[in-house]
Amino acid sequence: MNPCDIIRKKRFGKELNEKEIRAFVDGVVDGSFADYQISALLMAICINGMTDRETLALTLAMAKSGDTLDLSDVPGVKADKHSTGGVGDTTSLILVPLVACCGVKMAKMSGRGLGFTGGTLDKLESISGLSVDEDIEQFKRQVREVGCAIIGQTAELAPADKVLYALRDVTATVDCLPLVVSSILSKKLAAGCDVVVLDVKTGSGAIMDTPEKSRQLAEMMVRIGNLSGKRFSALITDMDQPLGNYIGNALEVEEAIDVLAGRVEGELKTVSLTLGAHILRNAGAVDSVEAGIALLEEKIRSGEGLKKLGEMIAAQGGNPEVVRDTGLLPKAKYKIDVTADESGYVTGMCTSDIGNAAKLLGAGREHKTDVLDLSVGIVMKVRPGDRVRRGDVLCTLHAGEKSDRVAAYNLMKRSIRIGAEKPEARPLIQAVIEG
């Protein structure tokens, strides 16, 4: 099929059929479409949009562009969770073992962090000996026997997305809604789960910085995901402040362990349990979200959730003793307090600045080849609405020898705003999108 005919059709705003979209994706993978032709079609899609039928066809073609994971020989319902990325967002390490304790298999393939959003794989690798590079048969065996696994995506999972994303990045089409949806969902569909719950972030630390954009994305992903024959739902959650108080790879593992051990309450636990409860409800394990939250709370109280995390760590070659002794995690050499210059209320935070400060310390990467310092990061001591006095500690930087401590300190000073009036509380979970 002639690439120019497909480009011309979309350029004039016409709907592409399934055969044309499949030819486009095949051309992306086998190289028969040149980069400039792919870029031209991406721009035409960005300008003219896509119908649900086109977006579904693109998503399915991308999902089938490489390996697809068949989990049919793993008994029971298989589930996954996806976040659009945030700061201090450690929900996977909490909900994966908890949901697995309730009889729903959690077969999760994750990515690495890029920019200021943390990657689940990087967090897990701060645990001594743990491998995220299991092959598919190992992965399936672990899901079957332990009930959960978190590994890296295989190189051949939705390979069309890798080519398209690289070109979207340099053609100003990254935020095009149909392309975002097909990019995320193609990988989830290729990974073979029955139930997927999406955590769509909104605010200063999110890809979609307004509630309106976040709702559009969430609604479209749920709509297209359900059209594919799987069970999807989504939560829109606040990212105008870090979700957890710990930001950085080993630090976030420590906070996840503290939540599972019942030592920590707060926003991170609330979002983790709510996402997990939606998975349980969609998988048929409970009748309601409220019943799911109650069941997950019980798994924390009984210690089963923490024990399951230890089993998952051991199955992937890591030291399970870390769930009983977080002192085994990497520790930063320096601790630097950032204090308040005035008294008042914490009126707000710029979450993207906080994430970038963590990156300056070495917790995040600018390029995929960057080497992280897994020990560094930030521990938040205040939340929006808290009353502070001059000299109070707002946060503590955990820094290493190669950390840009001065730049990170100055950025954190600017990122936390203090004023005379207590701000109105923002809802943590702003909307729930059901299929």
CATH number for the segment(s) 3-63: 1.20.970.10
| The amino acid at 16 | L
The percent of residues above 90 in pLDDT, for the chain, comes to 85
- Evaluate if residue 115 carries a pLDDT over 60: no
Tokens linked to 56: 């579904």
Buried b (16+ CB within 10 A) or exposed e, 103-114: ebbbbbbbebbe
Q: Of the residues 22, 140, 168, 230, which is catalytic? A: 168
pLDDT tens per residue, range 335-366: 999 999 999 999 999 999 999 999 999 998 87
**In the block, residue with structure tokens 């203090």:** 418
Q: Of the residues 80, 161, 194, 199, which is catalytic? A: 161
pTM, to two decimals: 0.93
Average pLDDT over residues 249-272: 97
- Evaluate if residue 155 carries a pLDDT over 70: no
Three-state SS annotation for the chain: CCHHHHHHHHHCCCCCCHHHHHHHHHHHHHCCCCHHHHHHHHHHHHHHCCCHHHHHHHHHHHHCCCECCCCCCCCCCEEEEEECCCCCCCHHHHHHHHHHHCCCEEEEEECCCCCCCCCHHHHHCCCCCCCCCCCHHHHHHHHHHCCEEEEECCCCECHHHHHHHHHHHHCCCCCCHHHHHHHHHHHHHHCCCCEEEEEEEECCCCCCCCHHHHHHHHHHHHHHHHHCCCEEEEEEEECCCCCCCEECHHHHHHHHHHHHCCCCCCHHHHHHHHHHHHHHHHCCCCCCHHHHHHHHHHHHHCCHHHHHHHHHHHHCCCCHHHHCCHHHCCCCCEEEEEECCCCEEEEEECHHHHHHHHHHHCCCCCCCCCCCCCCCEEEECCCCCCEECCCCEEEEEEECCCCCHHHHHHHHHHHEEEECCCCCCCCCEEEEEEC
- Residue 118: which pLDDT band, with cuts at 50, 70 and 90? low
- Evaluate if residue 410 carries a pLDDT over 90: yes
Asked if residues 193 and 228 have their Cβ atoms less than 8 Å apart, the reply is no
Tokens linked to 381: 């001591």
- Evaluate if residue 113 carries a pLDDT over 70: no
Q: Is 52 a catalytic residue?
A: no
Q: Of the residues 187, 201, 231, 308, which is catalytic? A: 187
- Evaluate if residue 274 carries a pLDDT over 90: yes
Give me the phi and psi of 105, to 5 degrees please: -75, 130
Tokens linked to 100: 């697995």
78-158+169-325: which CATH topology?
Answer: Pyrimidine Nucleoside Phosphorylase; Chain A, domain 2 (3.40.1030)
| The amino acid at 374 | L
Q: Is 381 a catalytic residue?
A: no
- Residue 117: which pLDDT band, with cuts at 50, 70 and 90? low
Residue 128: how many other CB atoms lie within 10 Å: 14
> Which pLDDT value is given to residue 116?
59
- Cα separation, 380 vs 392, whole angstroms: 12
- Evaluate if residue 291 carries a pLDDT over 60: yes
> Which pLDDT value is given to residue 329?
98
- Residue 370: which pLDDT band, with cuts at 50, 70 and 90? confident
Residue 79, beta-bridge partner list: 106, 195
Q: Of the residues 92, 126, 183, 204, which is catalytic? A: 183
pLDDT tens per residue, range 205-238: 787 778 899 999 999 999 999 999 999 999 999 9
Q: Of the residues 82, 112, 230, 398, which is catalytic? A: 82
Q: Is 187 a catalytic residue?
A: yes
Q: Is 70 a catalytic residue?
A: no
Q: Identify the CATH assignment for 330-419 out of 3.90.220.20, 3.30.420.40, 3.90.1170.30, 3.40.50.1820.
A: 3.90.1170.30
- Residue 260: which pLDDT band, with cuts at 50, 70 and 90? very high
- Evaluate if residue 379 carries a pLDDT over 60: yes
- Domain limits, the chain: 3-63, 78-158+169-325, 330-419
Q: Is 281 a catalytic residue?
A: no
pLDDT tens per residue, range 49-96: 999 999 999 999 999 998 888 999 999 999 999 998 889 999 999 999
Work out the mean pLDDT of the chain and round it to a whole number: 94
Asked if residues 234 and 200 have their Cβ atoms less than 8 Å apart, the reply is yes
